[in-house]
Every structure is written in C-alpha cells, then in structure tokens.
Structure 1
Amino acid sequence: MGGMARSKNSSAVTEQRSGADAPNPVWFKPVMFGFMLLGLAWIIVFYLSQGAFPVPALGSWNILVGFGIAFVGFLMTTRWR
C-alpha cells in the first residue's frame, strides 16, 4: 500500500508540472511565423517599391514598422514549447 500512495503522489506532481509546461495551442506556431514573414514582406515591399508602398505617408518609418511586426514574432518564440 505504501507504493500505491507514492505513485498517486508522484502522478499528482507530474500533472502539476505538465500543466505549467503544456504545449502551445495549434494556432501559436502559424501566428508566430506569420508575424515574422509579414514583417519581412513589409520591408521587402517598401524597398522594392522605393517607398511607394505599403504606407507612403510613413516614409522610412515603414522599416521600423516591418521590424516591429517581425519582432513580435521573435518574441513569441520565447514562449514556444
């Protein structure tokens, strides 16, 4: 009986740990890579259009916007399990 009580306690500890280290939802990885690719695409479009797109009013700030979008994706990688 002592072994039985021990296995129940160890499984309770395992359940608590697995709850904290639970895998990410299915949508997490596509959104993470989507942000990184969208930021890259934003910067590429800005350079190829010579500043005419994606938002002409922002001018060179479009580069910062693109890097900001990609940075959100890179920040998400720290939470990826």
Structure 2
Amino acid sequence: MDMARSRVPEEPVDRPEGDDAPNAVWFKPVMVGFMLLGLAWILVYYISGSLYPIPGLQGWNLGIGLGIALIGFLMTTRWR
C-alpha cells in the first residue's frame, strides 16, 4: 500500500483580499533619507549662492533637489 496516494488532499487556505505584507525595515529610513537629501540639496544651493552642489548646472540644481525629494514622497504612497 502506497502511503503517498492514500493521503486526503488538503483544502486551500482562505486568505483575505487586500492584506499587504508590511514594508521592509529599510524602507522608512530610505524614504525619509531621500526627502531630507533633496531638501539639503536645495538648501545648499540657495545658501551657497548657486556655487554648490554642482556649480555648472546652476538652476538645474533645484530640479535635482526636487527630483530627489520627489522620490521620497512617491515612496510614501507604497508605505504600509
């Protein structure tokens, strides 16, 4: 007699829809880090009189700072 064939098949487990797994431990610090890095980039640009962080980009430094901060803000939509 084969034991593997005599087993009763297990019934599928019901799982509620919409229950998402929590975020990884690193998600929140990275999210806040992007927002703060973008803010710091913009502050350094204004305080230095457009000499830093990258002098050749001039006004595009604002776009870079806003883009970095935007990544952090977009991550907030995925935070559970």
TM range (shorter): 0.7 to 0.9
* Secondary structure of 1:67's aligned partner: helix
After TM superposition, the runs of 4+ consecutive aligned structure 1 residues lying more than 4 A away are none
Q: Deviations over 1:5-64 (max 9, x none)?
A: xxx76xx2237754xx00000000000000000000000000000000000010011001
Distance in 1, Cα, partners of 2:18 & 2:42: 41
Structure 2 unaligned residues grouped into runs of 5+: 1-10
Aligned length: 70
- TM-score, structure 2 length as denominator? 0.80
Larger Rg: 2
Query: Taking every aligned residue pair, what percent have the same amino acid on both sides?
Result: 60
- Relative to the length of structure 1, the TM-score reads 0.79
Aligned-residue Cα RMSD (Å) equals 1.8
- Point out where structure 1 has 5 or more consecutive residues left out of the alignment: 1-7
